[in-house]
Structure 1
Amino acid sequence: MDDTREARILAVASLEEPTRRRLYDHVVRQTAAVTRDEAATALGLPRATAAFHLDRLAAEGLLDVVYERRSGRSGPGAGRPAKLYRRSERHVEVSLPEHRYDLAGSLLAAAIEDAETTGEAPRAALERRARQLGNELAAAARGTASARTSSDAVMRILEAHGFEPRAGEDAIVLGNCPFHTLARQHTDLVCEMNLCLLDGLLTGLDATQLQARLKPEPGLCCVRLEPNPTFRS
């Protein structure tokens, strides 16, 4: 299932159609999967209309399709399984600008578990986990479409994770903080986590021409990527 930002926006936008939204709301309120006929009858719709919109919701990943024999019989003569719909297990979240509290939550939970298991200081565990995630994002990017340079790869990954990178003459500034609300409430903790994440990303991409630095500015992410003065081409 495509979980890119564009796909998530399209999935949510598909609910703008009133009949489709009514069908989605009906399906998710049920305790069991429903057939096209059941949905059409419940909402007073033609069966073909209900089928069209239910299939569209399934195509967008908002509903799952399952097949069951409602008669309870099986084997020859039991008939074809009925096509049923239920709420998808996929979670779709869209925010503008984009926020990634799932990443922050995952890092914080992992750090707490590490600290309880090993006795490591929670903050040290969080910073280590953030660098590790940055390395993993870099490795995933290397395994897909290649960029012309490591700087191109950095920009692509930052864009994919909602940082809104803007390349200037002397630095890459980040127009959005994916952890904005958390950073306002727990500034030092979250900004250091963010710094370690981006430092791990640069290390993983071998982008030694850049360095991540904390430089909070109004309206921007607290981290910016600047030329590394020790870099030798």
Structure 2
Amino acid sequence: MKNSEADPLGPAPAAPTPARPLSTARAAVLDLLRSRRVPCTVDELARETGQHSNTVREHLEALVLEGLATHAPATTTRRGRPAKLYRAAEAPEASAPYAALAATLAGEIARLAPDPVAAGKDAGARWARGTLGPSAERVPARDARRRVVAELEGLGFGVEAPASGDAVRLVTCPLLAAARVHSDVVCAVHAGLVEEALRLLGHGELPSQLEPFAEPGACLLRLP
């Protein structure tokens, strides 16, 4: 994957972790916020989620109170109170020592585990269970795919999801340095996270495949 300095948009920002598990509906609103590059209004989110505007507004205000979203008034020339624009909150960037620690841990797994790839996948699955909860509510396959992509963006991946096709391009990686040295372990962690997330969302039968460094400057994640 390419270094963030070479990416004109820069890496996708890391996202704060909820202090407590979110409801499926509220998590869907947060995932949609994270998947968008520009702020959006309540009505825009209501149309995309299929929820009532008042319901979406309640979810957004709760996310703002938890520090998971921010809002600002929209610029308008019309009279009356301007609509609020919401966007996902950003977390502080991970420091270099944490990146070095990740590389060290990956190296220890590669050195000590009988099957480093299996150990990495297991770690990724446990990561997904800790993020989504041990029994996430089943959602339609399309929403599950969007939820997984949003989860990766929240972890700091730069994601390019085409309008058609099953290949999602991962153009930046939060653990790029570790992945270059121990791609078998680090990429297995990410693959295990995706597989377990699909299973938790009710679609464990759907195949997924992560192809590390499949293209110049990008890994490919194939999701049905």
By the TM > 0.5 criterion, same fold? no
Larger Rg: 1
Task: Between the two structures, name the one with larger relative contact order (CA 8 Å, sep ≥ 6).
Answer: 2
TM-score, length-scaled by structure 2: 0.44
